[in-house]
Structure formats: structure tokens, C-alpha cells
Amino acid sequence: MNDRRFQERAPRERPERNPADLRRSNSDERGRSPEIDEDVTGKELDREASRQLGTLNDTNRKWVARHLVMAGRLFDIDPQLAFEHALAASRRGGRLAVVREAVGLTAYAAGDYEEALRELRTYRRISGDQTHLPVQADCLRGLGKPDKAIELAQEPEATQLAGQSRAELAMVVSGAHLDQGDHSSALSALEIPELDINRAFSFSPRLYAAYADVLELLGRDEEAKRWHAQIAVAERALGTGLFEDPEILDFDEEDAADELPKVKELFGKGQNRRGSDERRGRSQR
């Protein structure tokens, strides 16, 4: 019979892996994708992330969205598992900036600085966004390359940062100078417009602490005491640190699913989600 419907079909061969694709999700030894919580639909993503995922087909869009939501949900709880979810999203949405951003940030939180640096460089190239330059610089520190971290901070795009991004980068660069034993340059790196003893921003307590620590290293103890004392003042004004009110959720069991907070602007621009304060800035290591 010549009817193709009845012809023996050769088994489909798995497409060859592109060795030029250095993503962890593309490696031969990649494991199975982690399980997704039953209540996650993918609709929890913010508008911009959902817009980017609109270029995918229906099956891939739902897969990528749900894994991104899981990555955001687990980011502070289990960074390694969050990283695995981001990698799973990357298998089907690796060309999207929001996916590369998620992989980079979760890799950083999990301590995989080489992977984080590669992914965030790709994200920066795709999106043109410079928000995560401080994280890239900190990855270079984590890889034992403080000189490269300082070099990155001198790029034109880095010098144009302001606000929290500039403060984060200043703390990383200060730490890089400390890695090199250059205490004077470490202090100078922190002397940015955002270092204001009379104004408190969300990052101010950490910036004050970093500045005070370097002052101590330089033997300027009285100045250091003043900045250390200002940390509590800033935390009180901001309602953070020891003065942070615990988050209390109160809802009936039957309404629990409806009351769970949605993930807003997951890994979005300006969120500066860089993990714990111990990892963030690596300032005094």
C-alpha cells in the first residue's frame, strides 16, 4: 500500500543541542522541571511580563508564566529552587528579556555568580536596561575579580545611574576596593549624593553601615560612631529593621486562595531584588 498513513514511521530524533547556547537550561545534564503549586495560574505576572510572553504560543506562554511566578514566590524562601523554576522557564522562553532577567537574579540569589553574570549580560543587551549593573558588578566580586567590578562601574551607563541603583553600585564598588586593601578608595566610592545623614531612603541603613565600617578601618572612630547611630534613626523613620511591623494576614480558610497576594512586577525594572542583605552588595567581605 502506498497510503502514507500506513507506512512505518521512523522514530523522531531529538534535535541536536546547540553548543553555542551556554544557558544552564540547555546543558546535557539538566534535570526535570520542578513542580508547580496547584494554585499558580500564570496570571499573577505583572502587565509588562505578560506582554513579553505574548510572543509565545499558548502552551509555552502558560508554561513560562507559571514557572516565573514560582520563581518569584520562592525567591526569598528557597533561592536554589527559584533558580530551577527560572531555568525551566528559560527552556521555552529563553529569548525573552524578562526570562533572562529571572534566571540571572535567581542564579545570583542562589550563589551561582557565573551563570548570573552571563544571564544578566544577555538581559542588558536585549532590553537596554541598566538596572542590574550593581548585581553584575557583585557577581564579578563573587568570582574573585574586584578589578573587573570597578571597571564595570566606570562604564558610561553605570555613571548615569541614580537613586537606589547608584547606592547599590557604590556599596559593591566600595567592597571591591576593600577586597584590594584600598580603604581610602572604598570610602570615596560611598560618598555619593544618596549618602545624606539627614535624609533616609530604603537603602540608607545599609549605606550608613557600609560608610561607618570603612571609617572605622581608617581609624576615624568618632565619625564612624555618628554614622552607626544614624542607622537606628533611619530605620525608625522608615519603619524597617528593628522597627518593622510584622505582616499579619487574617482571612477565612474558604477565602484564602482569593486573598493570596499577587506577584506584581515580577523581576521588573527597578525592583532591585538581590536577595538577602548578606549577599546584597557584599560590601564588607
Tell me how far CA of residue 147 lies from CA of 26, 102, 117, 180, 182, in angstroms.
31, 26, 15, 8, 12
- CA atoms of 31 and 8, how far apart (whole Å): 32
Residue 56 exposure: Cα atoms within 13 Å on the Cβ side: 24
Q: What is the CATH number of domain 138-243?
A: 1.25.40
Given a cut of 90, whether residue 137 has pLDDT beyond it is yes
Query: Is residue 277 classed as helix, strand or coil in its secondary structure?
Result: coil
- CA atoms of 122 and 130, how far apart (whole Å): 11
The alpha carbon of 67 is separated from its chain's Cα centroid by a whole number of angstroms, namely: 16
- Check residue 16 and give its pLDDT: 52
- The greatest distance separating any two alpha carbons of the chain, rounded to the nearest whole angstrom, comes to 95
For the chain, the structural domain boundaries read 38-129, 138-243
- CA atoms of 133 and 146, how far apart (whole Å): 14
- CA atoms of 115 and 17, how far apart (whole Å): 19
* 220-261 residue pLDDT tens: 999 999 999 999 999 988 887 777 665 544 444 444 333 333
Specify whether the CB–CB gap between 208 and 225 falls below 8 A: no
Which of the two residues, 108 and 22, has the higher pLDDT score?
108
- Find, among 123, 161, 76, the residue nearest to 136 by Cα: 123
Given a cut of 60, whether residue 175 has pLDDT beyond it is yes
Given a cut of 90, whether residue 270 has pLDDT beyond it is no
- Check residue 12 and give its pLDDT: 37
33, three cell numbers: 522541571
- CA atoms of 245 and 147, how far apart (whole Å): 40
- CA atoms of 54 and 125, how far apart (whole Å): 20
What lies within 8 Å, CB to CB, of 136 at 6+ separation is 117, 120, 121, 124, 152
138-243: same fold as 38-129?
Answer: yes
Percent of the chain with pLDDT over 70: 74
Q: What is the mean pLDDT of residues 85-110?
A: 96
- Find, among 137, 73, 68, the residue nearest to 98 by Cα: 68
Segment (H or E) for 26: none
Tell me how far CA of residue 127 lies from CA of 25, 39, 60, 156, in angstroms.
21, 31, 21, 17
Given a cut of 90, whether residue 97 has pLDDT beyond it is yes
Among 2.60.120, 1.20.58, 1.25.40, 1.20.120, what is the CATH number of 38-129?
Answer: 1.25.40
The identity of residue 278, as a single letter, is E
Phi, psi of 205 (to 5 degrees): -55, -40
By mean pLDDT, which of 2-6, 70-74, 120-124, 155-159 is the weakest? 2-6
